[in-house]
A and B are shown apart, each in its own frame.
Chain A
Amino acid sequence: EPEVTQTPSHQVTQMGQEVILRCVPISNHLYFYWYRQILGQKVEFLVSFYNNEISEKSEIFDDQFSVERPDGSNFTLKIRSTKLEDSAMYFCASFRVNTEAFFGQGTRLTVV
């Protein structure tokens, strides 16, 4: 069964460093999303991407964040200068048109 894959599974980074989280969505999906989940808290929407551009972003998704789909298959989330509060599980999801979301296993980002 097709699945969304995310790499790396765990990333430890120094505060102020840039990180890139990678996702390979399901190939025939059209909508791509990043969500994050701080430990013990709810899953929070970050950004949605459709037709090679951002369609919506939350207040969390500030200028430090960016997304790209550089080669038509990978979907990346970049955090330019990480802060301690960016530590969380980051989930990529891809959607079919009828909004059933398939999530990746997540990347655990730890900022030290």
Chain B
Amino acid sequence: TQLLEQSPQFLSIQEGENLTVYCNSSSVFSSLQWYRQEPGEGPVLLVTVVTGGEVKKLKRLTFQFGDARKDSSLHITAAQTGDTGLYLCAGERGNNRLAFGKGNQVVVIP
């Protein structure tokens, strides 16, 4: 059973368009993190959200944590080719152990 479901698994869009990807769970998390992973490299932390309903912005990326702390979304405004990558969400349930979703593979076409 997947603890964290990420959707869509694959998304291809034109440069300049907006996109939203989702990370959903039936479990409550004390914190949730978003990472970006390039092929053959380790995940790189983008953001941590802790409070239900929290919204964090990182340039053109907007991250939202659900009110119930079970889900999160990542919205990219005016996508650029450099945004191409695998976006991973990871939830922590108070034991310092992260559980990862399978990821959202985003491809931005020039």
Q: Chain A: residues with CB nearer than 8 A to chain B?
A: 4, 31, 33, 35, 41-45, 48, 50, 55-56, 89, 91, 93, 95, 98-106, 108
In the bound assembly, the distance between CA atoms of A55 and B33 in angstroms comes to: 21
Using CB atoms, name the residue of chain A closest to B43. Answer: A103
Assuming the contacts A42-B100, A42-B101, A42-B103, asked whether A99 and B42 have C-beta atoms less than 8 A apart, the reply is no
Complex interface: chain A residues within 8 A of B99 (CB): 45
Which of B31, B43, B103 makes the CB contact (< 8 A) with A91? B43
Assuming the contacts A43-B88, A108-B40, asked whether A101 and B31 have C-beta atoms less than 8 A apart, the reply is no
In the bound assembly, the distance between CA atoms of A95 and B102 in angstroms comes to: 21
Which of A41, A48, A103, A106 makes the CB contact (< 8 A) with B97? A48
What does DSSP make chain A's interface, helix, strand, loop or mixed?
A: strand
Q: Chain B: residues with CB nearer than 8 A to chain A?
A: 31, 33, 35, 40-45, 48, 88, 90, 92, 95-103
Number of A-B contacts (CB under 8 A): 59
Assuming the contacts A42-B103, A99-B48, asked whether A48 and B42 have C-beta atoms less than 8 A apart, the reply is no
Assuming the contacts A42-B101, A100-B48, asked whether A31 and B96 have C-beta atoms less than 8 A apart, the reply is yes
Using CB atoms, name the residue of chain A closest to B6. Answer: A42
In the bound assembly, the distance between CA atoms of A108 and B41 in angstroms comes to: 10
Inter-chain contact A56/B43, CB cutoff 8 Å = no
Assuming the contacts A42-B103, A100-B33, asked whether A95 and B96 have C-beta atoms less than 8 A apart, the reply is yes
Which of A4, A101, A106 makes the CB contact (< 8 A) with B98? A101
**27 interchain pairs, CB-CB under 8 A:** A4-B42, A33-B97, A33-B98, A35-B100, A42-B88, A42-B100, A42-B102, A43-B43, A43-B88, A43-B90, A43-B100, A45-B98, A45-B100, A48-B96, A48-B97, A93-B42, A98-B48, A99-B33, A99-B96, A101-B90, A102-B45, A103-B35, A103-B42, A103-B45, A104-B42, A105-B42, A106-B40
Distance in Å from the Cβ of B101 to the closest Cβ of chain A? 6
Distance in Å from the Cβ of B72 to the closest Cβ of chain A? 15
Complex interface: chain A residues within 8 A of B33 (CB): 99-101
Distance in Å from the Cβ of A76 to the closest Cβ of chain B? 17
